[in-house]
Amino acid sequence: MSEIALPLFPLNTVLFPGGVLTLRIFEARYLDMVSACLKQDSGFGVCLIRSGAEVGQAADIYEVGTLAKITDWTQREDGLLGITCRGERRFRIRSQALMPNRLLTGDAEMLPDAPEQQVPTRLQMLVALFKELNERTGYLPPDMLQKATQANWLSYRLAELLPVDLSEKQMLLEVDDGLQRLDLIATILGSARNHTAENTEE
């Protein structure tokens, strides 16, 4: 499978395909990156930090991330550049390099998602859970909820919304199949409920 060269943005967040990410840009390396992406109509890779920080020295990152495409930008009142990005395809980094301006880059293999599948009966409770969460938060407009029957789409949106550890979100991102991702979400939720029940009994 062919590889593409990507500028990389290490963050303490996990971006999923179809997700929206807003960022404040102030470091010179990322201002240059955003400028190049806008001029070339290209994207950059968002990767979860394994160790290190978002600013300063280049962080150690997980190899699987998501390609981010800038959809909007604005000059904020605080003088910083604000950008809005949408997650596109997942990728796996095969090699990394640090540029003279400390921008991390990587040669990345784009990862295919499994074909879209309908959410089966045994996982319909996750459809109901997502609709309930969406109603509480106003996360997505109601006209998008028809996609909640699609396994890939639903699994990504639940992974965004659920208050689970970043390491668990990363684990969900690395799963190729939407139904497997939903099964894993159900397992994570079941473990959390059991843990809560045990603490209540104590």
Backbone φ, ψ for residue 77 (5° rounding): -65, -30
List, for residues 146-191, the tens digit of each pLDDT value. Answer: 899 999 999 999 999 998 999 999 999 999 999 999 999 999 998 6
pLDDT band at 1, cuts 50/70/90?
low
Give the pair of three-digit tokens for residue 115. Answer: 């074909």
The H or E element that residue 103 is part of is none
Provide the 8-state DSSP code for 118: B
- For residues 2-14, give the mean pLDDT: 92
List, for residues 68-119, the tens digit of each pLDDT value. Answer: 999 999 988 777 899 999 999 999 999 999 999 999 999 999 998 889 999 9
Q: Give CA–CA dist 179/93, Å, rounded.
A: 24
Amino acid at 18: G
pLDDT band at 43, cuts 50/70/90?
very high
Give the pair of three-digit tokens for residue 124. Answer: 């319909």
List, for residues 52-82, the tens digit of each pLDDT value. Answer: 877 877 789 999 999 999 999 998 877 789 9
Q: Give CA–CA dist 46/62, Å, rounded.
A: 10
Whether the pLDDT of residue 199 is over 60: the answer is: no
Spatial CB neighbours of 175, under 8 Å, sequence gap ≥ 6: 155, 181, 184
CB neighbour burial string for 9-31, b if at least 16 within 10 angstroms, e if fewer:
bbbeebbbbbbebebebeeebbe
